[in-house]
A and B are shown apart, each in its own frame.
Chain A
Amino acid sequence: MSLLALAILSIGNAITRATGMFVLGRRAGVNPRWTKLMALVPISVVAAVFAVQTFTSRDQIVLDARIAGVAAASVAVWRKAPMVIVVLIAAGVAAGVRALHLGG
Chain B
Amino acid sequence: MEDTEQVQGLGPADLIALAAATMAIGVAVSAIMIDIGTSSTVVMLATVTAFSGSGELAFAAVILSGGSVAAGLISALLVSSRFGLMAMSIANLWPMPLWERLAAMQLSGEPAVAAALTARNPRTARRLYWQIALAMGIGWVAGSALGTLVGNVIGDTKAIGLDAVFPAVLLGTVAAALRSRDTATAAVSGAMIAVALVPFVPAGVPFLVAALTAVLASRVPAGPLGWRTLLTRGHRGADQAHHDQS
Contact = CB atoms under 8 A, between A and B. Distances in A.
Contact of B17 (A13, A83, A95): A83
Interface residues of B, number: 100
Given A44-B211, A47-B190, A91-B165, A70 B106 contact: no
Nearest to B41: A3
Given A6-B45, A28-B92, A87 B165 contact: yes
Given A33-B218, A42-B114, A13 B51 contact: yes
Interface stretch (B144-152, B171-179, B230-238): B171-179
Contacts of B6: none
A6 B246 contact: no
A2 B42 contact: yes
Contacts of A85: 17
A25 B210 contact: no
B65 A53 contact: no
B214 A41 contact: yes
The majority secondary structure among interface residues of chain A is helix
A48 B18 contact: no
B153 to A, nearest CB: 16
Q: Chain A: interface residue count, which band?
A: 35 or more
A36 B222 CA distance: 10
B194 A48 contact: yes
A1 B46 contact: yes
Interface in B154-212: 158-175, 177, 182-183, 186-195, 198-199, 203, 206-207, 210-211
Interface of A: 1-3, 5-6, 8-10, 12-14, 16-22, 24-26, 28-30, 33, 36-61, 65-66, 68-70, 73-74, 77-78, 80, 82-87, 89-96, 98-99
- What are the 7 closest A-B residue pairs judged by CB atoms, nearest first? A25-B91, A69-B164, A44-B190, A48-B210, A94-B161, A20-B87, A90-B168
25 contacts: A3-B42, A8-B73, A9-B73, A10-B45, A10-B50, A12-B80, A13-B52, A16-B77, A16-B81, A17-B83, A17-B84, A20-B86, A21-B88, A24-B91, A30-B92, A40-B217, A44-B213, A46-B173, A47-B170, A47-B187, A60-B199, A83-B17, A87-B169, A90-B168, A90-B169
